[in-house]
Amino acid sequence: MIDDEWAILKPLFPDPGYDTPKNGRPRDWNYRLILKAIFYLNKTSCQWRMLPSDFPSWSTVYTYFRIWKKDGTWKKVHDALRDQVRIQAGKEPQPTAASIDCVVIGFKDKCQ
């Protein structure tokens, strides 16, 4: 992840102190590296337990993925990246239309 990409995403993540345990032990990994590991998983489709050793352990990466999914951080990341892609394509940041495939949602017989 290049610095420009991180500059867009960094403000979307919670304050690094929000998950510090009560004993004050600091986190071992920064958000940027955890995010890179999640993007690596997405790009390569590898299993969680097969993450290369230069990333945090799979359980650490999965824990943060789960926390960020529950607290809405992933939705913010998705929306920010979508907006950037649309702007680069010369479109408005927010989509104005959507389509639904009847087969995908299971109403094939009712769509006709």
Tell me if 31 sits within 8 A of 16, measured CB to CB. yes
User: pLDDT-derived band of residue 22, with 50, 70 and 90 as boundaries?
Assistant: low
Q: What is the pLDDT of residue 51?
A: 93
State the DSSP string of 18-32.
GG--TT-PPPSS-HH
pLDDT of 65 higher than 80: yes
Task: Report H helices in 1-112.
Answer: 3-9, 31-44, 58-70, 73-88, 102-105
**Coil, strand or helix at 109:** helix
pLDDT of 74 higher than 80: yes
User: pLDDT-derived band of residue 8, with 50, 70 and 90 as boundaries?
Assistant: confident
* Arithmetic mean of pLDDT, 66-88: 88
pLDDT of 111 higher than 70: no
> pTM for the whole thing?
0.69
Q: What is the pLDDT of residue 66?
A: 93
